[in-house]
């Protein structure tokens, strides 16, 4: 059966709504970071490719309509906007929640309740370093996957799913930061007071790298220079676990790719407790985050936003279903 080309008006309206939402979230993150006294320095080199991507995407959306090229470059531009203030916002989250007690003991007790022994699993990883290398690669694939999924959805003209996927990832970061304010933690690696000597055959990605920055931020006395912040500082809930679920959903309607995504993101989920220094109960929370995100980015809400934008501009959004939505 030949797939009809996506309806231009529909694509334009959804594109407009998503761009507005991304810009609003990025502006909110920057405003949030600006209110914090932590001496942070943001890096915005990615805007060198974000702005050209958005310009190309706009050209193929509004002037010379080509749904695949438009979705590809719009998506790349939205990824760039989504990066703005993301890392800094996760750091400021620690400062916002500094008055709340650390929840490591409670989270560790929850792991024990479900018979999960974090140290035993670490020793298992250490016993099989070749397997650990595979798991580490899966854990670190979080950034490249978003680009690969974007390309796959654009080439298969699953345009509505593409915009929904990007919105879901952006909202997952927001929800993760909000929850982390109220449930700060240092992570099981620090709680167990581990060192590299406890896993001589492997190197964990996070380990105790969060400890010094978190304690420095929670103390509220900011000397210069502060500690180096190499990684995100959120231990609970896990952004990796939430995005693994979103990535699997995004690719599920794409033959062959869905099985690759399922395998890769299953490995990411397995790697997350050890390499991200997360408690296993995080994996229960990631499902809740993904469920809340799916509610927030339900396309009925996007369509209502698109209709609202269309009315402001003097046009009405088409009511027919977009051809790409058959992939949902």
- The most confident of the ranges 233-247, 272-286, 312-326 is 233-247
CA distance 300 to 159: 15
Collapsing DSSP to helix, strand or coil, 237 comes out as coil
Statement: residue 319 has pLDDT above 50: no
Phi, psi of 42 (to 5 degrees): -85, 150
Spans of all domains in the chain: 8-327
On the question of a cis peptide bond just before residue 225, with omega within 30 degrees of 0, the verdict is yes
Statement: residue 192 has pLDDT above 70: yes
109-145: buried (b, 16+ CB within 10 Å) or exposed (e) per residue?
Answer: ebbeeeebebeeebeebbeeeeebeebbebbebbeeb
CA distance 302 to 101: 38
CA distance 302 to 327: 17
Statement: residue 276 has pLDDT above 70: yes
CA 47, distance to chain mean position in Å, is 19
Average pLDDT (195-210) is 89
Q: Which two tokens mark 169?
A: 């990832």
Contacts of 112 (CB under 8 A, 6+ apart): none
pLDDT tens digits, 87-128: 778 888 888 888 999 999 999 999 999 999 999 999 999 999
- The most confident of the ranges 205-214, 248-257, 275-284 is 248-257
Band of the pLDDT at 287, cuts 50, 70, 90? low
């Amino acid at each position: 059966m030949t797939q009809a080309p996506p309806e231009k008006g529909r694509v334009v309206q959804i594109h407009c709504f998503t761009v507005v939402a991304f810009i609003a979230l990025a502006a909110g993150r920057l405003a949030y970071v600006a209110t914090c006294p932590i001496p942070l320095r943001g890096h915005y080199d990615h805007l060198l490719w974000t702005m050209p991507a958005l310009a190309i995407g706009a050209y193929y959306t509004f002037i010379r309509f080509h749904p695949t090229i438009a979705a590809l470059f719009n998506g790349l531009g939205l990824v760039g906007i989504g990066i703005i203030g993301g890392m800094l916002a996760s750091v400021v989250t620690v400062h916002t929640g500094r008055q709340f007690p650390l929840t490591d003991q409670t989270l560790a007790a929850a792991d024990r309740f479900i018979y999960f022994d974090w140290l035993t699993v670490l020793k298992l990883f250490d016993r099989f370093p070749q397997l650990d290398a595979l798991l580490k690669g899966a854990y670190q694939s979080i950034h490249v996957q978003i680009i690969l999924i974007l390309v796959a959805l654009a080439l298969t003209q699953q345009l509505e799913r593409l915009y929904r996927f990007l919105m879901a990832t952006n909202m997952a970061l927001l929800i993760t930061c909000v929850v982390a304010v109220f449930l700060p933690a240092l992570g099981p690696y620090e709680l167990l007071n581990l060192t590299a000597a406890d896993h001589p055959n492997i190197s964990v990605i996070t380990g105790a790298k969060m400890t010094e920055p978190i304690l420095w931020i929670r103390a509220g006395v900011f000397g210069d220079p502060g500690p180096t912040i190499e990684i995100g500082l959120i231990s609970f809930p896990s952004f990796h676990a939430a995005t693994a679920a979103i990535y699997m959903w995004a690719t599920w309607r794409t033959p062959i790719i869905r099985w690759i995504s399922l395998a890769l993101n299953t490995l990411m989920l397995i790697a997350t407790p050890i390499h991200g220094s997360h408690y296993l109960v995080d994996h229960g929370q990631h499902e809740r985050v993904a469920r809340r995100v799916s509610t927030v980015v339900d396309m009925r809400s996007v369509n209502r936003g698109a209709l609202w934008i269309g009315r402001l501009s003097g046009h009405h959004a088409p009511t027919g279903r977009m051809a790409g939505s058959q992939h949902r």
